[in-house]
Amino acid sequence: MRQCSACQHRYEERLVAQCPFCEAGLPLRPARLQRPWLAAVLSAFLFGAGQFYNKRLARGILVFLGVATGVFGLWYGGIRFAEDRMAGADLMLAGGVVAFPVWVFSVVDAWADAREINSGLGLLMERNPRVAGLLNLLPRAWGFGYVYLGHLRAGVGLFAAGFALHWAAAGWHLPWVSAALLVLQAGTAVDAYRRGVREIQALEARYARRLAHAPGTLWHPWVLGAGGLLLVFQAGLVLLVLAGR
């Protein structure tokens, strides 16, 4: 991200040559148009490749590391499964909890982000609501979605409270507390996404005349479907915790 010295706004200089906020009379256009389906296919088969195609380098690196870490846990858990059934199963579960949400996110985000860049809205977005929702959904990152959105106090407080309660639930063998925390975590992921969407909708309304078209991705059925799939996945984790897994 680069900060404009004139208006102090931040923008992705890889996507556009000049600050998109300063030239009030000019239409918003990316340096080149993206192909949304190509971005989605790239991320589906090569972790983070769609984000790199969209020139979201930091996001691509994080996606790659997230999915690679989860896949490593699945692979190593399979090796340990032959030696230590319990430890191997736990490693595979931990790997799946990380790999699956990040992979689903990478595919849908690459597609939606390419559409947003083509519309011009992606050039204005400093914080993405999809990233905020995913961060609040990932284990050990609870509350980071709020920090990402700039709500530092809420994010740090939620992270500290979640860490302490998870530790206490594990130490005192209270699976119902862990299950309740997973449900609450899913709720905060939805809330972080909604907060991010409100910020983007304000940008969209302010710069509507300069946008090429409305991207229509914030509440798109594909985006909502991916979010629903991740919530179903979270519900499965809740059932596993209650079953003593």
Q: What is the pLDDT, as a whole number, of residue 103?
A: 97
- The answer to whether 76 and 91 are in contact (CB under 8 A) is yes
How much of the chain exceeds pLDDT 70, in percent?
97
Tokens coding 19:
């600050």
Tokens coding 238:
């809740």
Tell me the DSSP string of 104-122: HHHHHHHHHHHHHHHHSGG
Q: What is the pLDDT, as a whole number, of residue 135?
A: 95
Q: Which residues of the chain have pLDDT under 70?
A: 13, 17, 23-25, 245
pLDDT, tens only, 206-232: 888 888 888 989 999 999 999 999 999
Q: What phi, psi does 10 have (nearest 5°)?
A: -105, 145
Three-state SS at 1: coil
Domain count, the chain: 1
Which residue segment(s) compose the domain that 113 sits in? 2-242
Largest CA distance in the chain: 67
pLDDT, tens only, 34-79: 999 999 999 999 999 999 999 999 999 999 999 999 999 999 988 8
Crossing angle between the packed helical segments 36-45 and 85-119, to the nearest 10 degrees: 170
